[in-house]
Amino acid sequence: MQIKRQTVGLIVDDSLMRVYVAAPDADGTYPGILFYSDIYQLGRPITLLADRLAGYGYVVAAPEIFHRLEPIGTVIEPNDLGRLRGNDDARRTDIAAYDADAVAVLDWLNADGRVASGQVGTMGFCIGGHLALRAALQSGVNVAVCCYPTGIHDGKLGRGIADTIERLDELSAQVLMVFGTLDPHVPPAGREKIFQALSQAGVEYETRLYDANHTFMRDDGYRYDSAATDAAWVDIMTFLQQNLGVAA
């Protein structure tokens, strides 16, 4: 499916938040996805993932997660310095600010005429995987796809300790967790803690494990795994189509 792209600006807490939007080019209504990047914001490896999702028939809205700290349009380079910078931005962002951003983008999706009523989900990578799960605590979110989400098991997200894992009983969304078995940031004990918490909260969830490292879907790094990425896309799209729906 061919897509079109646009950039919109939303004001949240008196800060201009750039949102990259990719959507099917054909007229119609489609499910909407709040789409979160990793700590490097909206560089081409991330917008390619957003574009790919849009091509399956989704309106995808990806915010700059550090808009309060970085100039609009900032792409953080995925190198040693960029890793320090992105992690520092994450550390200095209030958890309540992430929540406010989620509400703003979800409101925008629900007001957009291309988004089918009642068909809204979230998806994200690394810190964005955590943000996708946390955003699904908001009402009206049907699904959350969390790709190698960091910080859920230990509360690391922003300034302070995130209470995401303690609030899982508030979820009405169905959840897909995607992990690489070689991921050092979410080791087996961390994954098991997440799965146990989801089960205890009565959340409907699925998990997919691949023989891959952290950020294995990001195609500009040494940990990129094309075979695992292709397999993950099949599983992700099956999950979304079964639990969120397709274009009307």
Which of these is catalytic: 67, 130, 185, 214? 214
To the query of whether residue 101 is one of the catalytic residues in this protein, the response is no
Task: Report how far apart, in Å, the C-alpha atoms of 70 and of each of 16, 39, 40, 209 are.
Answer: 11, 12, 11, 34
Which of these is catalytic: 126, 130, 146, 225? 126
Which of these is catalytic: 146, 183, 185, 225? 183
To the query of whether residue 126 is one of the catalytic residues in this protein, the response is yes
- Measured over the CA atoms of residue 10, residue 135, residue 205 and residue 232, the dihedral's sign is positive
Beta bridge partners of 124: 36, 146
Q: Which residues contact 79 (CB under 8 A, 6 or more apart)?
A: none
Query: For the packed helices 95-111 and 127-135, what is the interaxial angle rounded to 10 degrees?
Result: 60
Taking alpha carbons only, the member of 192, 119, 203 closest to residue 167 is: 203
To the query of whether residue 146 is one of the catalytic residues in this protein, the response is no
CA 247 to chain centre: 21
Beta bridge partners of 53: none
Catalytically active residues are 126, 183, 214
